[in-house]
Structure 1
Amino acid sequence: MTQRGRAGSRPGSRPGARRRDEAADRAPAPPRIDLAAAKARVRAVIEPVVDAAGYDLEEVGLSRAGRRYVVRVLVDADGGINLDGVAVVSREISAALDAAEESGGEVLPGEYQLEVGSPGVDRPLTLPRHWRRNITRLVAVNGLTGRVTGVDESGIVLDVDGTPRALRFDELGPGRVQIEFKRLDDADFGDEEDEDDDADDDEGEGEE
């Protein structure tokens, strides 16, 4: 998370800090802007950066939060993206936004807070790459619930109760990954080996 134009340290950290923070509290709110146009400007700046890093830009969100704007960016990749990858691309996005401002093209007025992350399992599946990245998962789509067993350029194959169903992308609505909990009788608690060891110990007692 990156924040531009951060105010001084917290009150009490050093003399005069409280006065500066109080002045910041009285500062006027940022001017209202066309959020859709501003979001388009942000996307135009950061999309090449995300592409160059080898990721897909899944979503850009822009909202107001008090006296600053919040820019939320979701990135993803085949195989997912780890926290280190998120941190690296976050710094690169922040640098690109700063560079765009310094070159004379205002992207956002005033302060903003940048939040970069990856989509959660509740993200709707709407693009072919979303389906490709969820092969073997149980999903609900078009009133059906089944497991994704294949994805190609035209659509997906969904296993519904053992019956394969081919669905084209142009007829698919947004899919939703279904959370699965492992059945209790299938769970491996690691007790069987211990029980066998205990049985062997019992059989060995008194043999001397």
Structure 2
Amino acid sequence: MTDTAPKAPVVDIPAITALVEPEVKALGLELVRIAMFGGKSDPTLQIMAERPDTRQIGLTECEALSRRLSEIFDEQDPIEDAYRLEVSSPGIDRPLTRRKDYQDWKGFSARIRLSAPLDGRKQFDGEIIGIDDADNVILDCPKVGQKILPFSAIERSKLLLTDALIAATQPLDSEGADQIVREG
């Protein structure tokens, strides 16, 4: 069986990053992730950013970054097809995309998916111990013990929603929360 679902446009993520990162830094933010998702009928370029001191981003900052990026993308036109731009915070069950994330979030639970199997498995859930000098993420997995996962082999990774994570990530500000409109 072949997958016939329309795919999102292929984009040059390193080229997009080169355009986005200076704008993110100019606003005092850090870039967390750039991803393109959605099918051909609804492609979305997602930019995740955060304030380095709080690991959060407010609605006003998202708006400012979105406006700056829209202007640059209109000028540079780095994506041929039409797409939607989404600027957001990483959220509570955030993706872990940078080496520093594994130090910053040690002690919390994560799900890590590898690009190729290790010991017969591609997915590991456990408590983050950290990242070592050899660029390996160390994860303490229930029932299987400590696993050493090469950072370069990680396909995707995210924090798992737990009571400890909720307690550690209380919002600093709920400004704009009453303006959220749910679709559907």
The TM-score bracket by the shorter chain reads 0.5 to 0.7
Task: Label 1:175 to 1:47 Cα distance change in 2 as closer, same or farther (>3 A).
Answer: closer
Retained in 2: the 8 A contact 1:74–1:118?
yes
Does 1:94 find its partner at 2:94? no
C-alpha spacing 1:93/1:81, structure 2 compared with 1 (3 Å) = farther
Which residue does the alignment assign to 1:115? Answer: 86
- Compare the two structures and name the one with the higher strand fraction: 2
Gaps of 5+ in 1: 1-33, 183-208
Secondary structure at the aligned position of 1:115 is classed as strand
Query: Which residue of 11, 30, 54 corresponds with 1:55?
Result: 30
Residues 42 and 97 in structure 1, CA contact (< 8 A), matched pair in contact too: no
Partner of 1:71: 45
Distance 2:160 2:150 in 1: 19
Larger radius of gyration: 1
Aligned with 2:148 (options 167, 180, 202): 167
Length-normalised TM-score, structure 2: 0.52
Scaled by the length of structure 1, the TM-score of the pair is 0.48
CA contact (8 A) 1:122 1:177 kept: yes
Cα distance in structure 2, aligned partners of 1:90 and 1:56:
13
Distance 2:153 2:20 in 1: 29
Corresponding residue of 1:147: 127
CA deviations on 1:90-124 (whole Å, 9 max, x unpaired) are 222123223xx2xxx54356865422112345555
Is the contact between residue 16 and residue 78 of structure 2 (CA under 8 Å) also seen in structure 1?
yes
CA positional deviation for 1:179: 2.4
Cα offset for 1:49? 1.5
Structure with the higher fraction of residues in helix conformation: 1
- Find the counterpart in structure 1 of residue 160 from structure 2: 178
Q: 2:103 aligns to what?
A: 132
Q: Structure 1 residues 146 and 49 mapped into 2: Cα distance closer, same or farther (>3 Å)?
A: same
Compare 41-50 and 106-115 and name the one that shifted more.
106-115
Amino acid at match of 1:148: I
Mark the CA change 1:62 to 1:177 in structure 2 (over 3 Å): closer, same or farther.
closer
**Corresponding residue for residue 36 of structure 1:** 10
Aligned counterparts of 2:24 and 2:12: Cα–Cα separation in 1? 18
Partner SS state of residue 81, structure 1: coil
* Distance in 2 (alpha carbons) for counterparts of 1:138 and 1:110: 38
Code of the aligned partner of 2:55: G
CA apart distance, 1:131: 1.8
Give CA-to-partner distance per residue, 1:70-102, whole Å, 9 cap, x none: 43322245441222332232222123223xx2x
Distance 1:171 1:165 in 2: 18
Shift of 1:140: 3.8
Displacement of 1:137: 0.8
In 2: Cα distance, 1:164 partner to 1:121 partner: 26
